[in-house]
Chain A
Amino acid sequence: MGALVETSRQYRHLFDIYVPIALGVFALVVVILAVVIVRYRGRKPEQAASWHEHNPLESAYAVMLGCVVVFLLYVTYRAEHQVDTVAARERPALTVDVYGAKWEWHFHYPAYGIDRYSGSVGHETLVLPTDEPIRMRLVSLDVIHEFWVPELRYKHDLIPGYPQDITITFPDAGSFPGQCAEFCGLYHSRMTFTVDAVSPASFAAWARAHARRSTAHAASGGVRIGAHVAASAPARLGR
């Protein structure tokens, strides 16, 4: 088995190719412009050259640009293959169902019966193990939402009517902010959550301690809107 796909590393790899090229091109154009401006300013209109075409040169230049395009696509396709295809083939160590609803996240751990809620009415963390592939099943219960953890350099839409799976891996332990990235109405800005990435051993201990407890809490509580939408989820999805 190869190394796990880390979205943040694939991003960084591409970033380190694209951004230096962009900065180099920008600097080059600015320098050429500056030189040309200094060289050709303040001349009399009669001194202006009358040549105005060089098609072989432009064709060669277009071919060179085409090579740049091919190179950029090559590195992009390689990275995308990892992020979208290879990661999806990994066997997940944990599956989490992610329900998005205005304006609340509901994270359901089917293996443990744990439910966590975060967003406009509360802030429970999404606890995940590091160094293990995690399958997130993204389900929207109303409008389009988007699961985004900037630390992962990755986001994906939750579109009503069709659950989609993503596979992510947290290489480092830590506490990372996440939020809904697709505008979803009035309290979109409050649809936030925090990921607690912890070692697999700590995660196992946490999961044991929390197993089933929070479902009982949700059933007895009653004010959490996430609990209602979770209950109505299967019916809506079947539509």
Chain B
Amino acid sequence: MNVTAPALPTAPRLSGWLGAATSTDHKRIGLNMILASLAFFLVGGVMALMMRTQLATPDTRFVSDETYDALFTMHGSTMIYLFVTPMAIAIGVYLVPLQIGAATIAAPRVALAGSWTWLSGGLIMQSGWLTEEGPGRAGWFSYVPLSNSSNTPGVGQDLWTLGVILAALGMLLVAACVLATILRHRAPGMAVLRMPIFTWTELVTALMVVGAFPVLIVAMALLYAERMGAHVYMGYTGAIDYQDMFWFFGHPVVYVMFFPYLGAAAEAIAVNAHKRWFGYKAFVASMLAFSALSMSVWSHHMFTTGGVTNQYFAFTSTALVVPAGIEYFDMIGTLVGGALVFRVSMLFALTFFVQFLIGGLSGIYLASPVLDYQAQASYIVIGHFHYTLFAGSIFGFFAGVYHWFPKVTGARLREGLGRVHLVLLTIGTNMTFAPMFFLGEKGMPRRIAEYPEHPGWATLNLVSSIGSGVVALGVAAFLVNVVVSLREREPAGDDPWLGHTLEWATSSPPPRHNFDRPLPPITSYAPLLDLRERAAEAEGAHARRLAAGSGGLGPSPAERSP
């Protein structure tokens, strides 16, 4: 067959805003989603601050009950559907092709369409604020029958439902592209068991998205039909069916909101320890076990409904101890014997592991139905998942930001401001979320706009509210750092940290098709570290030969083999 090379596309490239919005470059798509997610993070954060203001004292009347309901619904929805989940996928869109030596993402136009579908879902959901009744206000999981049109009337809840459908559909499309990229676009030599740690976390994440998100889309489409007058979720079984479908999405998604950040923290730790990630195969196996288990734990959200087999879901949920324990073992194994450098990325990654441990251990507690009978729907649960998502994932996210910012922008973030950011965020996070465990144990339920003056409640809530202000200062320090670092650039070079993976073997930022120079040989999951180790070995061998007076004869056969 005689095939001539197709001519390069000659259509005029769009430039400026329009060009950035329609680019099929995975880096542009990823960056757009990252920036939009960050904007939603700030929006959701403002809602959190408003809630904490309301809860600062028992008698604060900062917002009405109705506004408070809208705030906690939209805070949860914004953070989950519009920030932590899409961000987890978007950093994969940017980094995965670079890490596996691919020139493009698979199906770039699908990814572009997905990113816009997601964003329109987000804007539709938020547009509820402009309606007369306000936005969705039945909680981020909007149980039926509360979320039907007679119990939560108004177009705001309709917009919320539509927004969730579109946001989930968009993320599903984008994640499918990431999955296809990993499966089909790896560079020659990039065997599955040579993929970097972060790419592995994105792979299992994409698998969970593809498995779980369609169920959410169906559950929400049926909820929309219900709100439009169809009778879908009838009576007790309807209520339980909705919860089963929702949490079949809702539990895997908490790992979607965790694994990529774990991967980011792991890369930051390995690079800053100058040692490759410990226990690669065990880690890969544990990730696969983790994601498989995560698809079978969903009903631990339903222990108090009387409609599920509690023992089974207690078993699957408690079994998560094993893969989670492997991760911690590997993290410590990476540090032991390393040469540790405490850049801000490293500090965030270490804080991630310490703080996530609190979230993880409290999760084991919640996996026991008898303990959950007290903890469910209380502030214990709020403390637990904020320790996993905020004290955990967000710290992993910032570890990744400090680690990869030079790659994306060509400039380093300031270390000093980064330390201020870290310290404020750590103090604020623990002040905000640690008191919630005690409040929940004392009996404070979630989602109440006012609380009675039981002994100790006022103090704990006040500490929590002050902490949320400190978190806001920490986030402000981060934004200042970004602005300062971009205005007065400290050029980073291609590989500022002695990276391990292929994204450090190209320019910063990478060119349109990622690699303008030949890829280094891909010999393991840390190919650049391999190169350095081999160079050091050769140097050592050379030095030994010189010392032995045998210089000039070339390497011995034993030294020549890799």
Q: Which residues of A contact B (CB under 8 A)?
A: 7, 10-11, 14-15, 18-19, 22, 25-26, 29-30, 32-33, 36-37, 40-55, 58-59, 61-62, 65-66, 68-69, 72-73, 76-77, 79-80, 83-84, 102, 142-144, 146, 148, 150-151, 153-157, 159-162, 164, 177, 179-189, 192, 239
Contacts and interface: CB of A to CB of B under 8 A. Distances in A.
A29 B353 CA distance: 10
A62 B376 contact: no
Given A29-B357, A142-B145, A45 B305 contact: no
Contact of B326 (A42, A61, A68, A142): A61
Contact of B235 (A54, A73, A150, A161): A161
A153 B306 contact: no
A30 B332 CA distance: 11
A56 to B, nearest CB: 11
B407 interface: no
A187 B65 contact: yes
B370 A157 contact: no
Contact of A45 (B65, B237, B274, B330): B274
Q: Which 3 A-B pairs have the closest CB atoms?
A: A150-B443, A161-B235, A49-B337
Contacts of B479: none
A69 B370 contact: no
Nearest to A24: B361
Interface string B340-373: 1010000000100110011001101100111101
Given A44-B339, A72-B318, A183-B146, A25 B361 contact: yes
B275 interface: yes
A78 B66 CA distance: 43
Interface stretch (B12-20, B278-286, B506-514): B278-286
Nearest to A76: B368
B362 A48 contact: no
Contacts of A154: 373-374
Interface string B307-344: 10011001100110110011011101111111110100
A186 B69 contact: yes
Given A72-B318, A189-B449, A159 B365 contact: no
A171 to B, nearest CB: 16
Interface in B374-394: 374, 376-378
B370 A162 contact: no
B139 A183 contact: yes
Given A43-B338, A54-B333, 18 more contacts: A36-B332, A52-B279, A53-B280, A65-B321, A65-B325, A72-B364, A76-B370, A80-B368, A80-B370, A148-B377, A155-B377, A160-B145, A161-B238, A162-B236, A181-B376, A181-B378, A183-B138, A189-B448
Contacts of B542: none
A48 B335 CA distance: 10
A49 B338 contact: yes
Contact of B280 (A10, A52, A79): A52
A18 B374 CA distance: 14
A183 B446 CA distance: 8
B442 interface: yes
Contacts of A83: 370, 373
B143 interface: yes
Contacts of B238: 161
B314 to A, nearest CB: 6
